[in-house]
Structure 1
């Protein structure tokens, strides 16, 4: 756990903090799509944090999405928006060990 905590602090210092400092607030949090490659794929960029005492996490400052590759992201972005009227599969708790996840999946399905 300590190693993961150190990694998330490093992620803020080296990349996320400087990036967010460059993005001017535009009335809503910036939206970032990350395409981490190699060893950078194991860094929890959205969980990067800063602060002493009370922490400030990256996911509180921006909306993060991840893409498997830049090509796949570009192909997905070029598609027409989904209408949301077709069938959907919602998997919320396949192993039965996530408290509350089943109820959350049901709410997502209803919405």
Structure 2
């Protein structure tokens, strides 16, 4: 599991991105569960994720509507299969509107470049 913490800050919200090998929905859920064993991530407002597997595309927004799809599209563009990416957001009290999608994209981009 690779975690890049505190990579983006905007109006009080903070973002982190993490990822690792993952080939099934069960592995994806186990990955997020393992991530949330860290109390910091367990207290996050959103842990949105996506993964491309041999069985198809999987995503979960975790309340951040549309975030899973943004992650999934970036995985497709990068042709990265069997690797989960989780974008974590701690809400800072001010709504970000459409900027939240830009931040999700940037978090995934940072992860892919660091990989």
- TM-score (structure 1 length as normaliser): 0.30
Q: Report which structure shows greater RCO (CA 8 Å, sep ≥6).
A: 2
**Structure with higher strand content:** 2
Q: Which has the larger radius of gyration?
A: 1
**Structure with higher helix content:** 1
- TM-score (structure 2 length as normaliser): 0.29
